Structure 1
Amino acid sequence: MGARVAVYFVASPLQYLAARRIAENFEAGARQVLVWYKPGVTPIVREADWDAAGYMPWPRWEPLPGPFGRHRRLRDNIRRVAALVGPCDSLHIHSAVFDTEAINYFLRALPKACGAREMRARILPDGIISIRRYPLAPAKRLAQYARKLRRLVAPELDYWCFGGDRIGSDAPFCDRIYVIAGLPHEYPADKVVVLPPLVTPRAGAAAGAASERTALVIGQPLVGAGLMKPADRDAVSDEIRAWLAALGIRRIIYKGHPKDPDQELKQPDYETLSLDEPLEVHLANTPYDAVVGVRSSALLFARQTSPASTRVVAFGWGRVRFKSDDERRQMGEAFRSTGVVLNEG
């Protein structure tokens, strides 16, 4: 029986990189099990780096065929992950959030399925989302108890209800919260562990700028995510193009976002960047004269990993719809503290 197993539920390249650092620096000696549940992560997974790895379909979006497909998918996922983990004494479950049925049921079901006598839950960083708390509203708390009713027909689906921050940072099952160096946060100090740099640049990479001045535009859903009106999005896109032209940058590369099929910030003359590695790794190893976007977390990592000569600018903040003034203030502090220049136009 394996003494200790560390399981990582990841949904983004950033979470994947964080899981690798945790496995190397904080879970050495454990059996390392990766579970990814967003198809967009598949191209960057190196299964050879893990003792076991597998894709887990998201119950809401990929239910099993037939009646009660979502419910049966939840049960099937528990069996699927338990087979990857195998028998163990101690289980460390890592996820960016625990207030979701796709992950929460594992807190109680996985230890029982694997014979673990001890379980600890630990939180993965999730970029700009992780700089602030998201308190559970009363309706969300009631929804947790509704999810607990599943155990009446499937005892292993015993939802672990909790209050406070929705990611689970205040919950009794959480004993550790991993954060990224340089980013502010509001988590309890006694639980926080700062990760080392997520990316180690390859030797000789990014030693100097390319002979042709080059910029990277980082896309994200803006109108599609309700962050901007179409007219504002178009104005920001034109502003970015004009700003790069004023710097004498003619070669512009566009990195789209998986949730941005319309490539909202892409201009006709931009090249399209396709990657088989996390964007953060690419940024650490590829020199650009400028990296620009709106409020993507990738701008933070561009500033942390790029040479000081690289201009990293967030455009359009005066046009972005934030959920609250507090969200705007906290995100602004995070970008400025990292060294990203905010353009409020």
Structure 2
Amino acid sequence: MGSRERAGRVAVYFVASPLQYLAARRIAENFEAGARQVLVWYKPGVTPIVRQEDWDAAAYMPWPRWEPLPGPFGRLRRQRDNIRLVAGLVGPCESLHIHSAVFDTEAINYFLRALPKASGARRMHARILPDGIISIRRYPLSLTKRLAQYARKLRRLLAPELDYWCFSGDRIGSDALFCDRVYVIPGLPHEYALDKAVVLPPLVTPRAGSRAASGAARSALVIGQPLVGAGLMKAADRDAVSSAIHTWLAAEGITQVFYKGHPKDPEKELNHPDYTVVTLDEPLEVHLANTAYDAVVGVRSSALLFARQTAPASTRVVAFGWERVRFKSDDERRQMEEAFRATGVDLLSVP
């Protein structure tokens, strides 16, 4: 690393989902032009969509909790190994912009202090990546979680570079002193400070001619997500919502129905035998922007919001059965409902 030419500015993006990946590309193109662009992804599901040629450096980073190194102190040694990995990608530089959807996690937070030291950077700013429907709300750190931050700081007794940066307020770090910018998705409400919030351009630009009709048959995409598996619904409620979607599609005269599952939905909870399961080699948001469906339906997936933003006005985008969903609070339901209605997604009840 010592022989590499010193960069002026390096932008590092820690991403865990296709949506975060798309946001990172927009930031790199529109807000970090001229910087060395470094992508680090830490969920294996992102691997198929990564275009190495779009980045100056890119690598998969194992999550210490789920992929510790073998032997004693495997998580700690993995974290140190990750710091060396990312520092090698970054190289010597004058300033660092570290992007992540959340900074209240040990796998990312330690980089705030360790990476500037490893790269010799004189300046560092942390910036928040959008994370779909989660990003419309603030999530204040509880006293228990704040105390846990100080416990994580004790690791520096064994490894000096693991110096956790404690903070308060919103758990993603939007209130912290190290954060100077929060990127938000166009068209979605949010609760972040206006002097920090920066609206991104549309995450996806439809390809020319990509929405040409593919025949007379009406088609729809059902967007799956873990419902019972995530504790959002009882099994009986999930079955009622799935049946209501199936009945609605038939009543709309839709004869071709495709099903896109979620990585955390191995049971394909909203699937039916007469649906065709699709596997994509591109982010779902890109697929939605470039495929001519007559309807896109689901429950409360963020993908419904993007479908409404990118699809023609003639496409029905519908969320079903929210009265059967377990929300964390009435406030969460209200804010999510405002976001979906503001974007133009129809909310249909399931009695």
Sort the TM-score into its range (normalised by shorter chain).
over 0.9
**What is the correspondence of 1:266-277 to structure 2 with a 5 Å cutoff?**
266-277=271-282
Q: Alignment partner for residue 19 of structure 1, among 14, 17, 24? A: 24
1:179 maps to 184
* Residue 331 of structure 1: how far off its partner (Å): 0.3
1:255 maps to 260
1:55 maps onto 2:57 in alignment? no
Aligned length: 345
Instruction: Tell me the distance in 2 between the aligned counterparts of 1:249 and 1:146.
Output: 55
1:162 maps to 167
1:293 maps to 298
1:10 maps to 15
Name the SS of the counterpart of 2:323 in structure 1. coil
2:85 maps to 80
**What is the correspondence of 1:69-148 to structure 2 with a 5 Å cutoff?**
69-148=74-153
Amino acid at match of 2:321: G
Q: Does the 8 Å contact 1:210/1:288 carry over to 2?
A: no
Name the SS of the counterpart of 1:48 in structure 2. helix
1:33 maps onto 2:45 in alignment? no
2:3 maps to none
Instruction: Tell me the distance in 2 between the aligned counterparts of 1:65 and 1:229.
Output: 39
* Residue 209 of structure 1: how far off its partner (Å): 6.5
* Residue 125 of structure 1: how far off its partner (Å): 0.2
Gaps of 5+ in 2: 1-5
Instruction: Tell me the distance in 2 between the aligned counterparts of 1:175 and 1:55.
Output: 26
Amino acid at match of 2:162: L
Instruction: Tell me the distance in 2 between the aligned counterparts of 1:65 and 1:312.
Output: 47
Q: Alignment partner for residue 284 of structure 1, among 264, 289, 311? A: 289
Name the SS of the counterpart of 1:318 in structure 2. helix
Instruction: Tell me the distance in 2 between the aligned counterparts of 1:175 and 1:220.
Output: 33
2:217 maps to 212
1:321 maps to 326
1:192 maps onto 2:204 in alignment? no
* Residue 208 of structure 1: how far off its partner (Å): 4.2
Identity of aligned residues (%): 83
Question: What is the TM-score normalised by the length of structure 1?
Answer: 0.99
Question: What is the TM-score normalised by the length of structure 2?
Answer: 0.98
Instruction: Tell me the distance in 2 between the aligned counterparts of 1:344 and 1:7.
Output: 43
Q: Does the 8 Å contact 1:206/1:307 carry over to 2?
A: no
* Residue 210 of structure 1: how far off its partner (Å): 4.2
Name the SS of the counterpart of 2:150 in structure 1. helix
1:308 maps onto 2:284 in alignment? no
Deviations 1:290-317 (A, max 9, x none): 0000000000000000010000000010
Name the SS of the counterpart of 1:91 in structure 2. strand
